[in-house]
Amino acid sequence: MKKPDISRPTILSLLDAFCTDFRPVAKPGTRKRLDLVIGHLRQFLESDADNVLIQPDFEILMAERQLDPVGAFERTMHADDLFYALPQYLAPERALTDPLARRAQIDLVANLCSWLWEQRYLRAHTVSECAVIDMEVSLRRSRDTLRVARHASSLRK
């Protein structure tokens, strides 16, 4: 049996490590929103993120889902797969409706991306320049949309 590659942790261990790093320093309200957003992200990954996978990874995911569908994406995929999926997670149709939760959603993605690069789980040879630009554009659009919504909300008051 092939040994797991510990130099390439799965999304499950990455999200657990990320939360271990960020959760303790957050205020109680922020921790609650972080937990909400992480749960929302995990649901998205399991239900809608498989379209970012290349064929061999998709086949691995399908085989894993036959064994145990719950959490299969997180158990089998890695940092680069997560990074490629995150712009879709920021799409308007997946936006959390509460403005504070939406801000937490955007902040989590930005912090998670930074953390993945800082921890060297992502490298220039595993992520295309186009994907990095796509991530930056998704973050900017999400922040702008939230800002416009907040402004419109304040005008109604």
3-19: b (≥16 Cβ within 10 Å) or e: eeeeeebbbbebbeebb
State pTM to two decimals. Answer: 0.90
Contact by Cβ (8 Å): 89, 44 = yes
5 belongs to a structural domain: no
Average of pLDDT values for 76-99? 96
Closest CA to 84 of 119, 19, 44, 134: 134
93 belongs to a structural domain: yes
131 belongs to a structural domain: yes
Average of pLDDT values for 54-70? 96
d(CA 48, CA 43): 8
d(CA 44, CA 48): 5
Per DSSP, the three-state class of 78 is strand
d(CA 134, CA 93): 17
71 belongs to a structural domain: yes
Domain residues for the domain of 79 are 11-156
Percent with pLDDT over 90 in the chain = 76
80 belongs to a structural domain: yes
Give the least confident one: 41-50, 102-111, 113-122, 142-151.
Answer: 142-151
What pLDDT shows up at residue 1?
A: 44
Give how many domains the chain has, as a whole number.
1
What pLDDT shows up at residue 157?
A: 64
What pLDDT shows up at residue 93?
A: 94
2 belongs to a structural domain: no
Spatial CB neighbours of 97, under 8 Å, sequence gap ≥ 6: none
